[in-house]
Chains A and B, each alone.
Chain A
């Protein structure tokens, strides 16, 4: 399959805890992106990390990329109930397509 693999498929945590989601892929990439999808809504871009970058921060989000292991992780610190959503990684191989993973469904309990 071209799609990446994400784990865990589902994650349930308490408000205030950190949430970590992982993404693996099989081919070389130009960049890797993370998107968020609230139930019944479209996807919203969160962060992009290029193949020559190892770590990137945006507010409470931290993304790492290990191209030797072909994997990336998304860390959400101090989670809030409003962070409840599905999170998808998507890889771009310098062509025009984004290939999405199967997603992690995050539930943050108040």
Chain B
């Protein structure tokens, strides 16, 4: 079953370390979205990528956060010099086309980052 695969599922980092979250979209999907969810809250859009292109990163903090979706391999969300406020669940979703056209996003199970 080639669903959206995220790893690691759980990640613990100390303040100042780096966190790398990986996402492999569903087979045939070329659009990847990253969302962040704080406990008891909804999902907040971070970034939208296509292969080798960042389409919209308006929801991503300007500093310490970066995302990529290379021609080969998974999409990576990278958080440098993590702080306690970065603790959250990070969800990746994919679609075969832009959301406005197809609608549905397919989500992974999330990566839960804890910063000590």
Which residues of A does B touch, CB under 8 Å? 3, 30-31, 33, 35, 41-45, 48, 88, 92-103, 105
**Assembly CA distance A92 to B110 (angstroms):** 22
**Which chain A residues lie closer than 8 Å to B106 at the CB level?**
45
Asked whether, in the complex, the Cβ of A98 is within 8 Å of the Cβ of B105, the reply is: yes
B5 CB to nearest chain A CB (Å): 11
The verdict on B104 contacting chain A, using a C-beta distance below 8 Å, is yes
The verdict on B100 contacting chain A, using a C-beta distance below 8 Å, is yes
The verdict on B69 contacting chain A, using a C-beta distance below 8 Å, is no
Asked whether, in the complex, the Cβ of B108 is within 8 Å of the Cβ of A96, the reply is: no
B83 CB to nearest chain A CB (Å): 23
> How many residue pairs between the two chains, A and B, have CB atoms under 8 Å in the bound complex?
65
Which residues of B does A touch, CB under 8 Å? 4, 31, 33, 35, 40-45, 48, 55-56, 91, 93, 98-100, 103-110
Which of B42, B100, B107 sits near A96, CB closer than 8 Å?
B100
**Which chain A residues lie closer than 8 Å to B109 at the CB level?**
41-42
**Assembly CA distance A102 to B103 (angstroms):** 19
When A and B form their complex, which 8 residue pairs have the shortest distance between CB atoms, in order from nearest? Answer: A94-B100, A42-B107, A100-B42, A43-B107, A100-B43, A48-B103, A102-B42, A42-B109
**Which chain B residues lie closer than 8 Å to A43 at the CB level?**
43, 91, 93, 105, 107
Tell me whether A96 and B91 are in contact in the complex, defined as CB-CB below 8 angstroms, given that A42-B107, A42-B109 are known contacts: no
Which chain A residue shows the least CB distance to B112? A40
**Which chain A residues lie closer than 8 Å to B107 at the CB level?**
35, 42-44
**Which chain A residues lie closer than 8 Å to B45 at the CB level?**
97-99
